[in-house]
Structure 1
């Protein structure tokens, strides 16, 4: 346990057994050259960057990860193959099979992150003097287990992302019967207060529980909403996610998806 805590970029056998079958087959080499860096070592390098926030070019070669460019290419390829989406679903299925997913309600929120430079899915931040920024949007189950995450520009209104995020929740099997993807209710703060979206949630069979603008503070939702704030704090515990250094949105989304899987994996580990 001490080794994993002090070196969180080390991929455990349990996690690797879930990831390895999801990885795409490598393209055949067209010419002789250096042997291909094993996928597990490249993943350790990716996790090193995710945890420490180090720049790719400074990835320590002596740890056997391969070059920063190798790890970057592997991350981009795996994200394009939707590896992290598939892994997240595998983990959610394990939790549902163990009856550890609480579908009684979901909780949604967002958090702003500064961007190192302007790029796709960034925008002038209304909370940071119009500097480039992005938003992480998160929806969790009643316990704070992440069900879906997304990335938008920092100037996007939270309510516009409510339905896209809800619709991004995967259909989770793991038990007899139809897979489930809809919570019984959705809790949200005043930023999501709009009658149109309340009606659209009802049409999806989801009861909206959204704080209203203009009403005194103390709606009581904080007793339940804190779990999503904790999950966002867990996400931002990964240093590479605290600031969006990648101009390419897909690379930042890859880090975000991988971090979501690692948080979900922690809940799965508690089943053992």
Structure 2
């Protein structure tokens, strides 16, 4: 950013509070250059390289928000337009024609809502599953021919005894 542009911008920036907590703030000019870098390159704020010296992306984003709330960019826009106009760089009549009102179109016709598939003043048809039990857990498997459940121990076979506790005092 050249010095002429900075001399226009600097007086518009709100002063930094005298007693602000935290580390010393990044210079406004560097912060503005970081903001312009992010916006020009289309990168995320978090990806602003610290090596460039503009401060962190979060610092630049907070400063941008602070300046927007203070109306800095609106005032800068008006000042730049006034300077361009004074220098004869703006062609207002052609700009007005370009930005003039668009030709009016009639709105698209609206379709009436579709009638219901059943006759009016009748009860809505029930769905095929209405009143039936909802599907939840599957039913348990039927008992085997032997009469015992599948996961029961076969007759005559028992589980092995649990191992003795090595940490007991009497063992």
TM-score with structure 2 length normalisation?
0.55
Q: Of the candidates 68, 71, 76, which is equivalent to residue 57 of structure 2?
A: 68
Q: Counting strand residues as a fraction of each chain, which structure ranks higher?
A: 1
Relative distance call for 1:73 and 1:107 in structure 2 (3 A) is farther
Q: Equivalent residue for 2:46? A: 57
Runs of 4+ in 1 over 6 A off after TM superposition: none
RMSD after superposition: 2.1
Q: Equivalent residue for 1:85? A: 74
1:18 aligns to 2:33 (yes or no) = no
1:101 aligns to 2:90 (yes or no) = yes
Q: Counting helix residues as a fraction of each chain, which structure ranks higher?
A: 1
1:104 and 1:53 map into 2 onto residues whose CA distance is 33
Q: Equivalent residue for 1:41? A: 30
1:1-272 alignment to 2 at 5 Å?
11-31=1-21, 33-105=22-94, 106-108=96-98, 139=99, 186=100, 192-194=102-104
Cα deviation digits, residues 219-248 of structure 1 (max 9, x gap): xxxxxxxxxxxxxxxxxxxxxxxxxxxxxx
1:62 and 1:103 map into 2 onto residues whose CA distance is 43
Cα deviation digits, residues 86-120 of structure 1 (max 9, x gap): 11111111112122222223145xxxxxxxxxxxx
1:76 and 1:100 map into 2 onto residues whose CA distance is 31
Relative distance call for 1:74 and 1:102 in structure 2 (3 A) is same
1:16 and 1:87 map into 2 onto residues whose CA distance is 11
State the secondary structure of the residue aligned to 1:71. helix
2:91 and 2:25 map into 1 onto residues whose CA distance is 43
State the secondary structure of the residue aligned to 1:104. helix
Q: Give aligned pairs, total.
A: 105
Give 1:18 deviation, angstroms. Answer: 0.7
Runs of 5+ in structure 2 lacking a partner? 106-171
Query: Highest Rg: 1 or 2?
Result: 2
